[in-house]
């Protein structure tokens, strides 16, 4: 009997029954299932998902550090000299040393100055070309002249530790201006100066 067709049967006593046969309803699909089914019906089942290709390589990163040092110095000022006071003027200054780590034992040297002195007798030039004697020493014992290694003078080795560029190494220079007869006789009121060059060899 075809779906939806009606049939009439006699059930007795001239009663007629109306029987309608209906085909079973298929299960209802969700919206997502319908979309998937439509996509499959349209395009077919994909063969396989496409995978992104990868390739790798390495490269070297490099830098070269060269041994380098920097130095700077503060002035050495004896202040006021009073001839005949009987006391030598003693002051000090520092030279700051900065070097790359691992720099092997650089040495610090000082020149004799620019006023015509020597390692054993440095001079400061004043008014009318008058000069005062002074000298520089490696310690406050005032026995070893701080110089370039000539004329009985000595250079000073500098021990370079870690991070000297962050915390510079300080080398102290001790100066002495004696109240001797030469200075007493030469002293003329005014300002006396000399220029000393510090050299770091590394």
| pLDDT score of 5 more than 50 | no
Residues 6 or more apart from 27 whose CB is under 8 A from it? Answer: none
Closest CA to 154 of 162, 146, 165: 146
pLDDT band at 161 (very low <50, low <70, confident <90, very high): confident
Place of tokens 């790359």: 100
pLDDT band at 51 (very low <50, low <70, confident <90, very high): confident
Half-sphere exposure of 86 (CA within 13 A, CB side): 0
Residue-level pLDDT at 83: 97
pTM here is: 0.72
| pLDDT score of 10 more than 50 | no
| pLDDT score of 195 more than 70 | yes
Domains of the chain (ranges; CATH) run 69-201 (2.60.40.1090)
* Average predicted confidence (pLDDT) for the chain: 85
User: Do residues 20 and 2 touch, judged by C-beta distance below 8 A?
Assistant: no
């Amino acid at each position: 009997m075809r779906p939806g067709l009606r049939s009439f049967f006699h059930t007795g006593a001239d009663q007629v029954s109306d029987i309608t046969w209906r085909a079973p309803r298929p299960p209802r699909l969700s919206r997502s299932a319908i979309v998937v089914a439509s996509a499959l019906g349209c395009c077919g089942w994909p063969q396989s998902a496409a995978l992104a290709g990868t390739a790798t390589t390495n490269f070297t990163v490099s830098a070269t550090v060269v041994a380098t040092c920097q130095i700077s110095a503060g002035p050495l000022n004896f202040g006021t000299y009073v001839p005949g006071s009987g006391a030598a003027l003693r002051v000090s200054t520092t030279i700051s040393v900065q070097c790359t780590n691992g720099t092997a034992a650089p040495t610090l040297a000082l020149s004799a100055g620019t006023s015509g002195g020597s390692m054993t007798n440095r001079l400061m030039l004043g008014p009318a070309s008058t000069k005062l004697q002074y000298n520089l020493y490696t310690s406050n014992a005032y026995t070893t002249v701080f110089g370039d290694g000539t004329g009985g003078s000595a250079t000073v080795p500098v021990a370079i530790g870690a991070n000297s560029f962050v915390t510079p190494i300080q080398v102290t220079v001790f100066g002495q201006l004696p109240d001797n007869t030469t200075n007493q006789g030469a002293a003329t009121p005014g300002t006396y100066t000399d220029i000393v060059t510090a050299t770091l060899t590394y």
